Amino acid sequence: MKRLVMALALVLSLASPALAHNLWVNLTESFAHPPGHVTTLLGFGHVMPFDDLLTSDHGVIRLQTYSLVGPDGRAVDLRLPSAKVEPKQKTPLNLTVQGGDLGLRKIALTGQTTPGTYQVAAKSHPLFFTMYVDAQGKKRMAPKPMDALSGAKQVFASMKYQSFAKAFFAVKEWSQPQALGHDLELMPLSDLSQVRVGEVVRFKVTFQGQPVTSNIQNIETMTCESNTFGVPDGFHLAAYIMNGVAQFRMPTAGQWVANIYYHRKVADDPRFKDLRGKCKDVYIAGSIGFTVKP
């Protein structure tokens, strides 16, 4: 039951992207000791650089892949974070303490490291969730597609959710990174290693290889959030996605995350014909983490 409640919290949050838990990648570069190293840490929640555990009372997300991809497209497994839910430790301070694995990894450069752009990417497992009325008339919820239910009289809501996250770092020079074949693919069209306050940053957004764009039926937007802008007032940058491209003029220095939530009704979109009978809605999230210099 606890897992169902956690999943329900995630599903309900998806009704509003502003409330949903985001997944992103934090990269920190250190060159104090040449040739230097980069640390990667997964962020989940709302507050950068990191907010919540990947497995918590406020949502749960389990990763399918977590990898480092070189300029030539070769991928190295960074080992998946543990999906174990650590027990909460009670304290005499009326607080609880809980541990968790956020995928902290050190990527050390060598004198032979190939120049160019590297990306750290994470992809979650697809999650199905259905709310329904059973044969006895009781309201139920299950982490299953509709066709895996037995005795359901009525389905209130059923969805599939998946999340993709990326961040990039350059060794000696920026090169255009390669697409990874994600269903929802976010790619930088700007040199993210040299972004400064006041400059424009552009992103390419595709779904199944086709440009995402705003039209009469769907107003597609990308948001951009930072702990140096809009916190704690709860606002962020937003831009329309037109012909697969969204852009922002960056107002402050610090860490930023560009996000998109892509939502479609299964019955209205022929691309999801294989999901008919399994769910009613598809939600796919994508993010790119980057840093703006003063």
pLDDT in tens, 23-59: 999 999 998 889 999 999 999 988 889 888 998 765 6
Ranges 49-63, 82-96, 203-217: which has the least confidence = 49-63
Position 1 confidence tier, pLDDT thresholds 50, 70, 90: very low
Position 20 confidence tier, pLDDT thresholds 50, 70, 90: low
Position 279 confidence tier, pLDDT thresholds 50, 70, 90: very high
Cβ burial of 169 (10 Å; 0-12, 13-18, 19+) is: buried
Residue 226 pLDDT > 50: yes
User: Strand pairing of 281-292 and 154-171?
Assistant: parallel
Sign of the alpha-carbon dihedral angle for 131, 45, 198, 247: negative
Listed in sequence order, the residues at least 6 apart from 38 whose beta carbon sits closer than 8 Å to its beta carbon are 27, 28, 29, 30, 106, 107, 109, 118, 169
Q: What average pLDDT does this structure show over 119-127? A: 95
Residue 16 pLDDT > 70: no
Confidence at residue 194, expressed as pLDDT on a 0 to 100 scale: 95
Task: Express as a percent the part of the chain with pLDDT over 70.
Answer: 92
Confidence at residue 43, expressed as pLDDT on a 0 to 100 scale: 95
The model scores a pTM over 0.75: yes
> Alpha-carbon distance 72 to 54, whole Å?
30
